[in-house]
Amino acid sequence: MPATKSKYSRTDPSLAASSIFKVDTSGSAAIRHSVLHGAYASRARKGVQKTLRVDQILSETSTQGPPPVAGRVRGATCEAAKAKFLTSSKKKQLEQMVIRKKHRSGISSIDPVKRNGTAVAIKPPQAPAGDMWTEDPSLIPIPVITTKTVTPIKPPSSLKPNETLVEVVNSVPAAGLMAIPLPHPGQSYNPALSDHQDILRQTLEKLEEEQQEVDKAAEIKQRVTKGLKLTQAKSPWEICEEAVGNGESDDEQESNADGGSTLKSLAKKKLSKKKTKAQRRRRENEREQMQMLALRKEAKRVAHTLHELPKLVRRLTTAEQEAQQVRIAQKAKRAALVAEYGLRAVRGGKPKGLQAVEDRHEYQLTEDLTESGLRGLKPEGNLWRDWSQSNTRRGKLDNRTKIGLVKGQRFQKGRMFKEVEKHAWKNFEA
Distance between CA 336 and CA 181 in Å, rounded? Answer: 13
Most confident of the ranges 96-105, 372-381, 416-425: 416-425
Question: How much is the average pLDDT of 302-330?
Answer: 86
pLDDT by residue (tens digit) across 262-281? 656 665 655 555 678 888 88
- Report helix, strand or coil for 60: helix
How far is residue 7 from each of residues 13, 22, 74, 252, 312, measured CA to CA in Å?
A: 11, 26, 9, 134, 110
For the beta carbon of residue 191, count every other beta carbon within 10 angstroms: 21
CA dist 398 and 203 (Å) reads 27
Nearest-CA neighbor of 364 among 351, 355, 373, 354?
Answer: 373
Query: Which of the two residues, 221 and 352, has the higher pLDDT score?
Result: 221
**Distance (Å, whole) CA 140 – CA 92:** 37
pLDDT value, residue 10: 55
- Residue 108 has phi, psi (to 5 degrees) of -80, 145
Show the 3-state SS of 303-342: HHHHHHHHHHHHHHHHHHHHHHHHHHHHHHHHHHHHHHHC
State what percent of residues in the chain have pLDDT above 90: 6
Least confident segment among 2-6, 118-122, 243-247, 414-418: 118-122
Q: What's the pLDDT tens digit per position in 231-251?
A: 666 666 666 666 666 555 555
| Main-chain dihedrals φ then ψ at residue 99, nearest 5 degrees | -90, 135
Q: Which amino acid is at 410?
A: R
Contact predicate 183/202, CB 8 Å: no
User: For 390-403, what is the mean pLDDT?
Assistant: 74
Model confidence at 128, in pLDDT bands (50, 70, 90)? low
Give the Cα separation of 95 and 121 in Å (integer): 9
Q: Alpha-carbon torsion 200, 201, 203, 204, what sign?
A: positive
For residue 140, pLDDT beyond 60: yes
**What is the reported pLDDT for 159?**
58
In the structure, what pLDDT confidence band is assigned to residue 288 with cuts at 50, 70 and 90? very high
Residue type, 255: S
Beta partners for residue 349, in sequence order: none
Decide: 89 and 64 in contact? Cβ < 8 Å.
no
pLDDT tier for residue 372 given thresholds of 50, 70 and 90: very low
Is the pLDDT assigned to residue 152 strictly greater than 50?
yes
CA distance 421 to 423: 6
pLDDT score recorded for residue 104 = 45
Dist. CA 79–CA 411, nearest whole Å: 83
Please, which pLDDT band fits residue 147 given cuts at 50, 70 and 90?
Answer: low
What's the pLDDT band for 402 if we cut at 50, 70, 90? low
Q: 32-36, 195-199, 355-359, 401-405: which has the minimum mean pLDDT? A: 355-359
Nearest to 125 by CA among 107, 141, 139, 113: 107
Quote the pLDDT of residue 357.
43
The pTM assigned to this predicted structure is 0.23
Q: What is the mean pLDDT of the chain?
A: 68
Distance in angstroms (rounded) separating the CA atoms of residues 122 and 111:
12
d(CA 371, CA 108): 79
Q: Pick from 101, 123, 104: which is nearest to 112 by CA?
A: 101
The residues near 202 (Cβ < 8 Å, ≥ 6 apart) are 184, 361
